[in-house]
């Protein structure tokens, strides 16, 4: 018996495979998983409403990306950019000078590897790295969209211009400005040399062990000289091994910490529990044989997003 596919079934079959990569694309644009999920829903609603007019002049994937990109641009016109503490001002050196948390700031969020597009993790981790997502949020929205479509997704200038409603010439000039601005924002983004997998795992194991034991001497041997520690939603942050160690000496004293491995933004990380309670989610940046940066998101709600219990 011949089964006749209904239009709704056809739409789901043809568009469903792109959901995770569209979520990753919207996350790059917005810096928030929750906002990205909302925009993906909006993208599919818009696509479903316009499906009868889809004539196949572009691929289904390109058509969906065009809708998603423009939905993100519309959302960004009415909302501020998301940031990490290092995007707000200079570092501090005294743990006693920590200011209060500021939940009113639109903070950048991490994305669990399980949520992201597998191709973004396997084929190009730099396109999902936390430092890049943070830097992208400082670009004007049009520059951000062009840079993502051209440099991350490897679209042609013509495809990018078609998606954004501008000429290929405009795409070229916008991309040049975006690359120059990104280089000024963080010239070291493309210079991260990660250790090989066995060395990486050994380094992370030693870091977790030293952290749980509050062994500052061991941690000192594992941090780069220019290590950075950030703790959103606290706007204060620390730069330099000595400053980070002063912070850890003050914060780890008298606490029973446990680190559970996680993966976020194509990077290693840890869910930190204190006295068995969810405390912070750390995203760790490795450079060579050492830890170069830790962004510890003090938001217990993230534990659910990462499939983690609130209590061990």
Does one domain contain both 114 and 226? no
Q: Is residue 310 in a domain?
A: no
Q: What is the CATH number of the domain that holds 297?
A: 3.10.450.50
Of 154, 189, 224, which residue sits at a domain end?
189
Does residue 77 belong to any structural domain of this protein?
yes
Give CA–CA dist 29/182, Å, rounded: 14
Do 50 and 159 lie in a common domain? Answer: yes
Residues 233 and 148 in one domain: no
Residues 88 and 225 in one domain: no
Give me the mean pLDDT over the 153-166 stretch: 92
Has residue 98 been placed in a domain? Answer: yes
Pair (181, 202) in one structural domain = no
> Could you tell me if 75 and 145 are in contact, meaning their C-beta atoms sit under 8 angstroms apart?
no
* Domain residue limits at 64: 7-189
Q: Which of 160, 149, 130 is nearest to 292 (CA)?
A: 130
**Beta-carbon-side half-sphere exposure of residue 250 (alpha carbons within 13 Å):** 12
d(CA 301, CA 107): 14
Per-residue pLDDT band at 159 (split at 50, 70, 90): very high
**245 domain-assigned:** yes
Q: Is residue 227 part of a domain?
A: yes
Which of 48-52, 69-73, 230-234 shows the lowest per-residue confidence on average (mean pLDDT)? 48-52
- pLDDT at position 46: 94
Percent of the chain at pLDDT > 70 equals 93
Distances in whole angstroms, Cα of residue 274 to Cα of each of 108, 143, 235, 257, 259: 23, 41, 22, 5, 9
Do 31 and 156 fall within a single domain?
yes
Check whether residue 113 and residue 177 sit in a common domain. yes
pLDDT at 172: 96
Q: 26: domain CATH number?
A: 1.10.10.10
Q: Are residues 31 and 144 in the same domain?
A: yes
Q: Is residue 92 part of a domain?
A: yes
In a domain, 2, yes or no: no
Of 160, 189, 218, the position where a domain reaches its end is: 189
Q: Are residues 263 and 204 in the same domain?
A: yes
pLDDT at 206: 97
Range in 184-188, 220-224, 234-238, 264-268 with the lowest mean pLDDT: 184-188
Per-residue pLDDT band at 4 (split at 50, 70, 90): very low
Which residue, of 189, 218, 248, is where some domain finishes?
A: 189
Q: 180 Cβ partners below 8 Å, 6+ apart?
A: none
Does residue 13 share a domain with residue 106?
yes
**pLDDT higher for 51 or 292?**
292
What confidence score (pLDDT) does residue 192 get?
A: 58
Looking at the predicted structure, is the pLDDT value of residue 2 above 50?
Answer: no
Q: What is the pLDDT of residues 51-91, one digit of tens each?
A: 888 877 778 899 999 999 999 999 998 877 899 999 999 99
179 phi and psi angles, rounded to 5 deg: -65, -40
Residues 269-282: what's their mean pLDDT?
A: 96
The predicted pLDDT at position 120 comes to: 76
Residues 184, 202 share a domain: no
Domain count, the chain: 2
């Amino acid at each position: 018996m011949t089964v006749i596919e209904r239009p709704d079934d056809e739409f789901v079959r043809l568009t469903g495979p792109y959901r995770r990569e569209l979520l990753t694309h919207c996350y790059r644009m917005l810096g928030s998983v929750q906002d990205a999920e909302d925009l993906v829903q909006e993208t599919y609603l818009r696509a479903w409403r316009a499906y009868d007019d889809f004539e196949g002049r572009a691929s289904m994937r390109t058509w969906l990306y065009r809708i998603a990109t423009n939905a993100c641009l519309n959302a960004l016109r009415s909302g501020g950019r998301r940031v990490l503490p290092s995007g707000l001002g200079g570092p501090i050196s005294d743990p006693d000078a920590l200011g209060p948390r500021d939940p009113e700031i639109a903070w950048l969020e991490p994305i669990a590897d399980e949520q992201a597009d597998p191709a973004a993790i396997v084929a190009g981790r730099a396109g999902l790295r936390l430092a890049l997502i943070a830097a992208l949020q400082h670009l004007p929205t049009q520059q951000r969209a062009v840079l993502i479509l051209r440099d991350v997704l490897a679209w042609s200038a013509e495809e990018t211009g078609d998606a954004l409603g501008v000429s290929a010439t405009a795409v070229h000039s916008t991309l040049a400005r975006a690359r120059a601005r990104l280089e000024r924002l963080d010239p070291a983004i493309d210079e991260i040399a990660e250790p090989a997998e066995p060395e990486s795992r050994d380094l992370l194991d030693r870091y977790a062990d030293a952290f749980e034991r509050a062994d500052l001497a061991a941690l000192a041997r594992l941090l780069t000289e220019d290590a950075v520690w950030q703790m959103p939603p606290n706007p204060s942050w620390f730069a330099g091994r000595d400053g980070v160690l002063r912070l850890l000496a003050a914060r780890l004293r008298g606490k029973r910490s446990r680190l559970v491995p996680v993966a976020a933004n194509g990077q290693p990380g840890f869910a930190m529990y204190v006295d068995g309670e969810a405390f912070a989610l750390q995203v760790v940046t490795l450079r060579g044989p050492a830890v170069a940066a830790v962004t510890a998101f003090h938001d217990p709600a993230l534990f659910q997003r990462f499939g983690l219990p609130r209590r061990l």
